[in-house]
Structure 1
Amino acid sequence: MEYVWVEKNKNIKSIVNKEMKIHINWSKKPDEDYTRLSKQYMNAGYIILKEIVEGPHNNIKYDMWFLPSIYMMRQAIELLIKSGIAINGATKSELQRIFIAAKHNVKELYKTYKDSYGVEELNEAEQTWLEEYLDSIELIDSSSDLFRYPFKDDFMQQYGDKALDVIHMGNRLIYCFSTLNKMINGEWFNEVKLNVEEDPHFLQVAVTGVNNCYLSDSLWSDEFRKQIKGYSEAATFLFENFKESGDEALFYPIVFLMRNAIEIGLKRLLHMQMDQGIDLHIVRSKRNSHLLYKDLWNSIKPMLVHYSKEDNQKEETLELAENYIRSLDCIDKHGDIFRYPCTYSNEYKFNDEEIDVANFYSYLLGIFHFIDSCEAWLDNIKNYEMEVKNENEAEMRSEWVSEMRTYME
């Protein structure tokens, strides 16, 4: 990953590299746009999965890159079902009502499609497999955040120290997407036909951690590290792929992945336990927020200002980072602009834009590296604070023992 830092007078939308320029232009027809983005996410997820399985063996890729790969393919499935509802003539107000009610619930979206339009393109075995698979997604990942953020305690209590089967889980997501494409568009996606003998379950625990996604966090410093590293490195890999192929379809997944890594990085800073850290009630109230600037940065900033003054750091760096975060926040406040083509109310908030992909990515990378450096810097300070605290406690204990001995004598 190229090392990039925040710098003065950099604009996220500037065109610096003309050869990297693309034009974002949605049709403003929900059926077409949801279909298009669904294919982009499936393609991006597949590219990452293929690299994990077929590239040189790398435990980090199996344990960390697999997480964004699975998320993107699950996102593709949600987008494709929504495209099917739009293709069949639902009005904008109907789409808004359906999408708000269902949110990320792929089981409910499928039921809406089936009840309204039928699934005659599928035979009974295909329909049964698909419904059981969508049920299993909803059972374990109803909010579409299982692989997007650090695993919750209840999930780790059940699956911690186990491994997820990379190949079987990846294949089933591809089968699901292709079957949905047949249901909606009348043909298998990329000629991938469903194998109904495949177990219709979203999660598959592997018999070994070798060449699979091991879920334990014991080797890492905290619960955030796996997702931060996985999402940022997957984004970098897709960007390198874009540089070679010029495939514009990779832009939205690249931006989403890096923005998500930035959000998780800020949340890691939010949770850092420092002598002059963030009040617990603020941590609890902001830890699930997607608002990069208003909730996350503004909660973290006082801690960074305090320690930067103690450490004689330049305030200018904090100001630059704040400007970067504010600019990204203005484009994608809630973390959904690059996951969907439009809002529930059919607003296209990022459209008809000339974008230099390299400059846009570099801008995000600058934020990411700033946050990552803050984490390392604060970790060092925290260790020093702990040493001082232990020394003071030892000294106080020694003085107390000495006083007691004097008293006893």
Structure 2
Amino acid sequence: MASVMQIWPDDYQSLWDIKYHDYVIEVKWSKIPFEDYKRLAQEYAQCGHLIFENVIESGHNNVKSDMWFFCGIFLLRQSMELGLKALICRVCNRKNEIQKNFKDCCHDLWKLFLRYSEKGENYISSDEKQWLIHYLASIEEVDEKSDMFRFPFEDAFLAQYRDKFLNNISVANNMEQAYHLIKKCINCGTYDHDFQFEAEWSPEFLILASHGIGNCYLCEPVSDHGFHTKITGYIQAADFIFSNCEKNHLGERLYPLIFLLRNAIELCLKRLFYASVDNGVTRHVFLSKRRSHLLKKDLWKNVRPMIQHYASESDADLKIIDIVEDQILELDALDKNGDCFRYPTTYSLEYRCNDREFDVKNVYEYMSAVINFLEGCDSMLDVISDFESEMRSYYSDCYDYYDY
């Protein structure tokens, strides 16, 4: 296999190609929402645990501590949401009741747990329940939309946490404990054999440390608008999950893997909105589309003209742009809003991806190639931006000389 860094979009490659038969898995859901949400919760939790474990064992590895760690936070948070939604599916007898709870609560873990508790199931102790309620409320204070650790930080978050350090071990331990308490509810009161509830742990989501050794530094350079940290973290975490997966566990990694790669592609496209070149996206487009999740309609559509303009000026082969467009359209057709591989079903409990075969290695290479192209575009635009700035400064000096 070629290095991921060397993979480039191929005109003859499709997301659905079967090239590596040892890597083929079939997505097949039971069509029992409780079972399917429970299963995907476990898959996200396993990937989050792998990331946390590797980050913490790496010691003082700044890239992992400061970048990968955010992916672990998202994966564990997502596993909690999936687990709680599994419980909603179990305690609600009617489809429309499940739909209403999903829509009312959306990503709110605290609300989901309260809705579940109102149905009368009680498989955890009073101490465990109080700890979990306080902990889920703490998450919602920081990350109510489940996007804080997927995209560049909001100004309000940075105003409170900039230049501070997360205590990686404490944050990871608390997230794992919260998931295991939810799983205890799923298992009707039974803990996993290796878990023990630690009542003395403070039920706080973000626990700070006094130093950065082995911890996550909450800093975003103004120069890159916070994209480098998130893009690097999501790409490398996806690489790690794929590279450290035994073939008999590929099916358990597919959904989290595709989500991480798809999120990285979205981040790469959004970063291009910030390119400070003369022929960049317009201010109206920047303000109205930069938060969209739509790869085709809002993101690629608005950065392609910029890429094509500068590629044409440098006499580059423009065919690669058409190839990438076809691949982005194929991804968009499968996962328009970035949630197809985040949940087994829609809010309406419809299964969008079922009885489909995936060549996991082909999917990984296909999406990595798109990322490599977009990262190359960002590097190209940085060089062009510097050149344009220098030329403006040069001509400004010339005008000043002649005016004098």
TM-score interval (norm. to shorter): over 0.9
Partner of 2:136: 134
Partner of 1:407: none
* Residues 190 and 4 of structure 1, relative CA distance in 2, 3 Å threshold: farther
Residue 12 (structure 1) shift? 0.7
- Alignment of 1:147 onto 2:153: no
1: distance between equivalents of 2:193 and 2:393?
62
2: distance between equivalents of 1:365 and 1:373?
12
Partner of 2:349: 346
Matched residue SS, 2:26: strand
Partner of 1:227: 230
1: distance between equivalents of 2:294 and 2:224?
25
Residue 318 (structure 1) shift? 0.5
* Residues 220 and 172 of structure 1, relative CA distance in 2, 3 Å threshold: farther
Partner of 2:159: 157
Residues 113-192 of structure 1: matches in 2 within 5 Å?
Answer: 113-119=116-122, 121-185=123-187, 186-192=189-195
1:242/1:248 contact within 8 Å kept:
no
2: distance between equivalents of 1:148 and 1:53?
20
Matching residue within 250, 255, 272 for 1:252:
255
Deviations, residues 102-122 of structure 1 (Å, cap 9, x unaligned) = 100011101100111232x22
Identity across the alignment (%): 37
Amino acid at match of 2:158: M
2: distance between equivalents of 1:183 and 1:342?
21
Residue 88 (structure 1) shift? 2.2
1: distance between equivalents of 2:246 and 2:168?
27
Residue 267 (structure 1) shift? 0.1
- Alignment of 1:69 onto 2:72: yes
Deviations, residues 36-70 of structure 1 (Å, cap 9, x unaligned) = 00000000000011111113642100000000100
- Alignment of 1:329 onto 2:332: yes
2:24/2:359 contact within 8 Å kept:
yes
- Alignment of 1:397 onto 2:400: yes
Partner of 1:369: 372
Partner of 1:217: 220
CA RMSD in angstroms comes to: 1.4
- Alignment of 1:195 onto 2:198: yes
1: distance between equivalents of 2:193 and 2:382?
48
1:179/1:193 contact within 8 Å kept:
no
Matched residue SS, 2:244: helix
Matched residue SS, 1:351: coil
Higher Cα Rg, which structure: 1
User: Structure 2 stretches of 5 or more lacking a match?
Assistant: none
Residue 245 (structure 1) shift? 5.8
1: distance between equivalents of 2:272 and 2:223?
16
* Residues 190 and 290 of structure 1, relative CA distance in 2, 3 Å threshold: farther
Deviations, residues 164-212 of structure 1 (Å, cap 9, x unaligned) = 1111000001100111122332112353122010000011111111100
Q: TM-score, normalised by structure 2?
A: 0.96
Amino acid at match of 2:220: D
Of stretches 235-244 and 100-109 in structure 1, the one that deviates more from structure 2 is 235-244
* Residues 269 and 219 of structure 1, relative CA distance in 2, 3 Å threshold: closer
1:337/1:350 contact within 8 Å kept:
yes
Partner of 1:109: 112
2: distance between equivalents of 1:254 and 1:205?
29
2:48/2:73 contact within 8 Å kept:
yes
2: distance between equivalents of 1:191 and 1:369?
40
Q: TM-score, normalised by structure 1?
A: 0.95
2:25/2:250 contact within 8 Å kept:
no
